[in-house]
Amino acid sequence: MENKGQDRIPDCQILKTEKNIRNINKKMAINRLKNNRSAKTKDLPPPYPNGWYGVLESSMLSAGKSMYISCLGQHFAVYRTQAHKVYVLDTYCPHLGANMGLSGRVVGDNIECPFHKWSFRGIDGRCTNIPYSSCVPSAIKVKKWISTEVNDHIFIWYNVEDLEQPWTIPISDELQTKQFVYQGRNEFYVNCHIQEIPENGADLAHFAAIHKKSFMSGCIDAKENFLTNFARHDWKASWSATEDKHIAEVKLCHYIVLFNKFKFFKINVTGKQLGPSYVHLFLHSPIFGSFQIFQTITPVEPLLQKVVHRFYAPRLMAPIVKILICGESIMFERDMNIWDHKIYRGNPQLIVEDSSVKKFRKWYSNFYSVNSDGFNISETLQW
């Protein structure tokens, strides 16, 4: 179930490298932006809210290796030392512009530029060595990004307000103690503004509209067939902000209903939305036990989001989790079919029953600030 979405691009072409993402999607991005001109693009919030962003799964970066990541309108060199410490710097060398994330050599806590072997220190981005010079000017440096590694993911702190301090991402005790092990993942590329994906959790009415039919009925266009009457999904949902301004909570109670009468396979879900792009889902079945899902949303472009779900559970739950991954992927694709073809309404016409959407937008506005870059078509089309 990996590399789903982007029905206009074959799966085999998606994300071979970060460079390929930009090349493959350049034409698509232009077309999306052209379409959005008539869709009141001025209503769109800033494309990159302030907060933590999961940019790389821990398993993808081994000790002594570096990677180039392009997202959030930035270019990062992410590398891991032999001591397993992760550092993130601006990727382009200030000397003659080489990409240090590509083929950069990790030496101690430094990354060495592949072009002229200049070395830059991970802790502050300062140049520490120029092999053909006896003097290293103190002003030579690249930007050092705040990063953390937690729950098998590497996060970057993105915030246009330099004085705002990052909050702490909670550690999953079950992962840390190895009670839960990695069971699988899926990956999607969604054509929409980042805010619209987490907003789904506060859109309580969409659960019955989109997710009622059995997942066995299909994803993009769930068909009316014998499964429709044989089995359906029943959802009860609520959304609320918390006392911590960067945390919101969605609660779901799910059943499978047979013949519109018999309920079974109950799952209680509590989703912790931590900032603009990260969700930690706690799921519990009275029969099968507990497991967890981690969702990260990373803006590859202003209107292109990479969404990854990683599943963790006790080892013996593996067969059940595989079914859950399949069902969750199908349900997510149903949402994605809407996101890929809708427009963002900055001032939607809501009714009383949509009050949680209004509350969500007020909460999510915490992640925009006066210095957040606005959405500018003319700038975005400058390639």
pLDDT tens for residues 316-363?
A: 999 999 999 999 999 999 999 999 999 999 999 999 999 999 999 999
Q: How far apart are the first and last CA of the chain?
A: 32
The dihedral formed by the CA atoms of 309, 296, 248 and 170, expressed in degrees to the nearest 10: 90
Supply the pTM of this predicted model.
Answer: 0.87
The dihedral formed by the CA atoms of 132, 134, 138 and 142, expressed in degrees to the nearest 10: 20
Nearest by Cα to 283 from 259, 305, 253: 253
Task: Give the span between the Cα atoms of 117 and 113, in whole angstroms.
Answer: 5
Task: Give the span between the Cα atoms of 123 and 109, in whole angstroms.
Answer: 8
**pLDDT confidence of residue 382:** 38
- The token pair at 175 is 């992962």
Task: Give the span between the Cα atoms of 156 and 50, in whole angstroms.
Answer: 11
- The token pair at 159 is 């915030």
Residue 277 CB contacts under 8 Å (≥ 6 apart), including other chains: 49, 51, 52, 53, 54, 194, 198, 296, 297, 298, 299
Bridge partners for 65 per DSSP: none
Q: What is the pLDDT of residues 186-244, one digit of tens each?
A: 999 999 999 999 999 999 999 988 988 877 666 666 556 665 567 888 989 999 999 99
Nearest by Cα to 367 from 84, 185, 160, 96: 160
Contact assessment for residue 217 and residue 225, using Cβ atoms and an 8 Å cutoff: yes
